[in-house]
Amino acid sequence: MNSQNQPLVLILAGGVGSRLNNLVQTRAKPAVPFGGIYRIIDFSLSNVMNSGFSQIGVLTQYKPLSLMNHLGTGEAWDFSGRSRGIKILPPRTGSSDSDWYKGTADAVRQNIDFIQDHPSKEVIILSGDHIYRMDFDDMLQFHRRKKADVTIGMMVVPKEDIHQFGAGITNEEGRIIEWEEKPEVPRTNLASMGIYVFDTSYLLKILAEDKNEVDFGMHLVPKSIERDDVFAYPFHNYWRDVGTIQAYWQANMDLLDEDSGMSPENWGIRANTESNVTSTADRPPTRFTTTAKVQRSMIAAGCTIEGEVINSVLAPGVTVAKGAVIRDSILFHDVKVGENSVIDLAILDKQVEVAKEVIIGFGDDKKTINKEHPTHLYTGITLVGKNAKVPAESKIGRNCIIQPATTVDQFTSSNLTSGESL
């Protein structure tokens, strides 16, 4: 696309993502590893790249270091060069917390100078924490054809899920005539994906009107619908908000399901394979010994598999010792699983060490929800935080949480019953 005709892209990547529990204790939600070799933000970045756009601002806030390290110069997504660029935009923090971003619209408002320094006819605003493939150029052309002030990416979701989203009621032209933000009793099944195209002049005008309007979905979008031209851009393909442990786990499992509609490789999703020490760039090929058994799994480079891996996603550098079984699980970089241990329905963060004859995901009790975080862990998944060490012969139940950097000495008992945290 002609650079004069290019939109400016802003990716909102500052959310705490607290429902992902200890996966976001040391990193921002968009920087959470996904699918073995990616991070969640790679999907938004690659969609921008594949749409032919090259001017991007990434709005960061919460624990941004691993995200900034991952983005680097943007070279992995072709965003470095004379006429292209990616800029990290942290909050303009002053002496108080009140300078932090108060919401999506406030985050953009605090970066009006960046928008003015990169003249464009339109601004595209994305979230950095969704798994999907989308042609933003097609959405941009739709916006221009409709002569819209604002265009919102929207898709049909089951009515029982609509309470998690902004919901729009449209007329026969696709114009949004009513809006409900996270409705308890929905009147529509058309949900906002949190993807917006704004005419730049219109965006600057409404941001200037009332500085107490800090959120797009809660404040600016309903106001725009009431008085201006807001259209719904229909989206029909795979899209998942991975903001909960269950949704995150399911999206990883979708990688293993040919019928799920998810295929990062075919979508042209790029990872930054050289961003840090856990990169894939210098890993040797994975080694499978004669005792290894693998079924319906994704295993990245640099792993050593002597045991059994079933329906699981393994990041680079994972070691599965002889007699060990990994089932329905996600293992991050450089996890070590000892002899005869079983990992069943669990997520193990980077550099977790599991000694021999351990069971993580012990017993059939998937209904005892986590006592400390009942809204985070309630489907049987157990979480083990980064750098935790699990002692030999331990039995960890379902819906359990082991905090990052937990040492062997901190296990006062060899059993952690379902729903407990350590």
Q: Are residues 310 and 381 in the same domain?
A: yes
Q: Could you tell me which of 387, 342, 374 has the C-alpha nearest to residue 399?
A: 374
Q: Which residues constitute the domain of residue 351? A: 279-422
Q: Are residues 186 and 116 in the same domain?
A: yes
Q: Are residues 108 and 54 in the same domain?
A: yes
The pLDDT value given to residue 132: 95
11's CB contacts (< 8 A; 6+ apart) are 30, 41, 44, 45, 48, 56, 57, 58, 59, 126, 127, 128
Q: Are residues 296 and 417 in the same domain?
A: yes
- Going through 51-149 in order, the beta strands assigned E by DSSP cover 55-59, 85-89, 122-127, 130-132
DSSP reduced 3-state for 199: strand
In a domain, 270, yes or no: no
Tell me the residue type at 24: V
Q: Are residues 82 and 190 in the same domain?
A: yes
In a domain, 273, yes or no: no
In a domain, 238, yes or no: yes
Alpha-carbon torsion 182, 162, 369, 416, what sign?
A: negative
In a domain, 262, yes or no: no
In a domain, 269, yes or no: no
Q: Are 221 and 137 in contact (CB under 8 A)?
A: no
Please count the structural domains in the chain. Answer: 2
Q: Are 242 and 249 in contact (CB under 8 A)?
A: no
In a domain, 265, yes or no: no
Euclidean distance between CA atoms 17 and 13, whole angstroms: 10
What Cα–Cα distance (Å) separates residue 158 from each residue in 161, 190, 247, 250, 257? 6, 9, 15, 16, 21
User: Where do we find the tokens 């008085």?
Assistant: 227
Q: Are residues 324 and 224 in the same domain?
A: no
Q: Which residue has the higher pLDDT, 376 or 65?
A: 376
In this structure, of 48-52, 80-84, 108-112, 398-402, the range with the lowest mean pLDDT score is 80-84
Q: Are residues 155 and 290 in the same domain?
A: no
Q: Are residues 328 and 411 in the same domain?
A: yes
pTM higher than the cut 0.75? yes
- Calculate what percentage of the chain has a pLDDT beyond 70: 95
Q: Are residues 18 and 100 in the same domain?
A: yes
The H or E element containing residue 233 is strand 230-234
In a domain, 266, yes or no: no
pLDDT band at 180 (very low <50, low <70, confident <90, very high): confident
Q: Are residues 206 and 335 in the same domain?
A: no
pLDDT digits (tens, 9 = 90+) for 318-366: 999 999 999 999 999 999 999 999 999 999 999 999 999 999 999 998 9
pLDDT digits (tens, 9 = 90+) for 297-317: 999 999 999 999 999 999 999
